[in-house]
Structure 1
């Protein structure tokens, strides 16, 4: 009987040791599980903030891509305008040269006739108008030399520009490019590195510090019952 009691006590002690070991392991796993769940929830919150920041950055990018597209369109339009103006100038200069060639022999004939009848020569045309000096009619025609072509937009920007064209942007009475320049993105100073960042950025893209609002929302007071 005594041996059986001793064996029973030993078995209980072994069970207690095993229970203690398993309980410690159980608590350790439970604590790790709780930590991992907290980390998961924290990272999900961060992901939500990061996605919001990415959306703001993409909107800003679209605005800049659209502005760049408008600048390229203005450059092309100005090149065409300059070329047309120089063509008009060249036509007018050629016509003026022909008229000057007709003018010179006519003036010589008139001066010769006036000299034969005792009259003085007529003043040269440049004496009446300083702009009509002989050097003016020696000017050469101008050929429009376009600026070296700019490298094409990178593929990513080209795709973004095409997407920007499909975005319905409200049009003001001013030009689109002026509207973009008159409406810079709202900014604020990072409380950590003091650099200018987007007003709605949840984190600073430079120092990665979490951004806090200078005017946090106050909790609503509950109505007195």
Structure 2
């Protein structure tokens, strides 16, 4: 072989090596670009996943709180229903008792007392219904005055109304 053939083969080999190097370098650059792009997308997805998990946990905590609030409201409603039933029964029992005392004891006694009073020249006693109506009118007037005072306070202070509502809610329990 001649020196020019050896040089030519060497040159071809070097050229082939350089072409291979160029192709491999370009493949490496392309692969690196793809890897960088995919890594950036992966980081973005992982970040979104963390945010999503955080939001899900926050919503689960909020859901748990709301469930507890609903359970408390249901318990309060059940308690109020029990109190309402008890008060209704007690009211009915008291009303029967009041009517019995009024019809069987008070009215006959009042009739006897009024009869005696008339015989000795005195006026009849007022009927108990008049006294009850006067007392009820007084109670209603006191409530009206109290409500008016509360209204004037609540218009001056928004927290006053909330405080009264909370107090009223607690007093019902």
What TM-score do you get using the length of structure 1 for normalisation?
Answer: 0.45
CA distance in 2 between partners of 1:77 and 1:49 (Å): 42
Report what 2:62 is aligned to: 64
- Checking the alignment, whether the CA contact within 8 Å between 1:126 and 1:132 is kept in structure 2 is no
| Cα deviation code 1:94-119 (max 9, x no counterpart) | 12221232213433312321343215
Name which structure has the greater RCO, CA cutoff 8 Å, separation 6+.
1
Report what 1:127 is aligned to: 130
Q: Which runs of 5 or more structure 1 residues have no equivalent in the other structure? A: 134-225
Aligned length: 131
Once the two structures are superposed, the pairs formed by residues 12-161 of structure 1 within 5 Å of their partners are 21-102=19-100, 103-117=102-116, 118=118, 119-130=122-133
Q: Which has the higher helix share?
A: 2
| Cα deviation code 1:112-164 (max 9, x no counterpart) | 2134321543323332233669xxxxxxxxxxxxxxxxxxxxxxxxxxxxxxx
Measure how far apart 1:93 and its partner are.
Answer: 1.6
Structure 1 residues 44 and 57: CA distance shift in structure 2, 3 A: same
Which structure is larger by alpha-carbon Rg, 1 or 2? 2
- Checking the alignment, whether the CA contact within 8 Å between 2:114 and 2:124 is kept in structure 1 is yes
What TM-score do you get using the length of structure 2 for normalisation?
Answer: 0.57
Measure how far apart 1:23 and its partner are.
Answer: 3.9
Structure 1 residues 72 and 52: CA distance shift in structure 2, 3 A: same
Measure how far apart 1:29 and its partner are.
Answer: 0.6
Report what 2:146 is aligned to: none
